[in-house]
């Protein structure tokens, strides 16, 4: 049957999202405290639109988007807008997570394609996010532009970055990425 990419809509999918959040952002990238439930509900959960990759009933990847201010980066960078290029409609890309044993170009590109298609339909012209400094080359390859100081605490640092969706469309035409 293969991997299915879709917008999360079922309660069981959201429960799996909370568990993948925990695995990624508590156990692997320790941004949050451990808890006995083994689940992490994002503080913006009710505003997020999640794009997920399912292999049968296993959640293997996800990313989400939201367009309501304040964004998480608004809390981390004073005067966030001063770092950004002119735009009409902005969104925040968040919670990119691929199950550790399922990391592959197919899963990554599938969730990103679903996200970008949604952003295109919604008319967003700018997406912002903070990505781990360990993946800086990947984000640059995808057209993201770093800005501002690193955010985070201790050894866990993230680079704020933006992507114009016009740059994404050019990249898509020039390469096989996401085609």
Instruction: Give the pLDDT confidence of 30-53 residue by residue, as tens digits.
Output: 778 899 999 989 999 999 999 999
CATH code: domain of residue 93: 3.40.630.30
Cα–Cα distances (Å) from 75 to 5, 53, 69, 72, 79, in that order, read 31, 29, 10, 5, 9
Residue 115 lies in a domain: yes
Helix intervals (H) in the chain? 11-22, 72-76, 105-122, 136-141, 165-174
pLDDT of residue 157: 87
Residue 135 lies in a domain: yes
Judge whether 97 and 61 are in contact, CB under 8 Å. yes
Nearest CA to 62 out of 23, 29, 88 is that of 23
pLDDT of residue 92: 96
Judge whether 24 and 64 are in contact, CB under 8 Å. no
Q: 56: pLDDT confidence band, cut at 50, 70 and 90?
A: very high
pLDDT of residue 152: 86
Residue 94 lies in a domain: yes
pLDDT of residue 139: 86
Residue 54 lies in a domain: yes
Residue 28 lies in a domain: yes
What domain range is 84 assigned to?
Answer: 3-174
Residue 179 lies in a domain: no
As separate numbers, helices (DSSP H) first and strands (DSSP E) second, the chain gives: 5, 8
Mean pLDDT of 153-176: 77
Number of domains forming the structure of the chain: 1
Nearest CA to 5 out of 51, 58, 74 is that of 51
Q: 177: pLDDT confidence band, cut at 50, 70 and 90?
A: low
Residue 142 lies in a domain: yes
Judge whether 145 and 101 are in contact, CB under 8 Å. no
Residue 137 lies in a domain: yes
Mean pLDDT over all residues of the chain? 89
Residue carrying structure tokens 């367009």: 67
Q: 174: pLDDT confidence band, cut at 50, 70 and 90?
A: low
Mean pLDDT of 130-134: 88
């Amino acid at each position: 049957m293969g991997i299915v990419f879709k917008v999360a809509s079922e309660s069981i999918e959201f429960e799996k999202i909370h568990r993948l959040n925990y695995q990624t952002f508590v156990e692997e990238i320790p941004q949050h405290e451990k808890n006995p439930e083994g689940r992490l509900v994002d503080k913006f959960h009710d505003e997020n639109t999640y794009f997920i990759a399912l292999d049968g009933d296993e959640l293997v990847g996800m990313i989400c988007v939201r367009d309501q201010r304040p964004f998480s980066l608004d809390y981390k960078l004073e005067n966030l807008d001063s770092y950004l290029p002119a735009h009409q409609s902005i969104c925040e890309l968040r919670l990119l997570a691929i199950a550790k044993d399922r990391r592959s170009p197919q899963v990554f590109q599938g969730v990103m394609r679903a996200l970008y298609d949604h952003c295109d339909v919604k008319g967003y012209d700018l997406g912002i996010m903070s990505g781990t400094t360990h993946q800086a080359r990947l984000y640059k390859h995808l057209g993201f532009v770093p800005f501002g100081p690193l955010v985070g605490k201790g050894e866990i640092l993230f680079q704020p970055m933006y992507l114009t969706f016009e740059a994404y469309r050019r990249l898509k035409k020039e390469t096989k990425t996401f085609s």
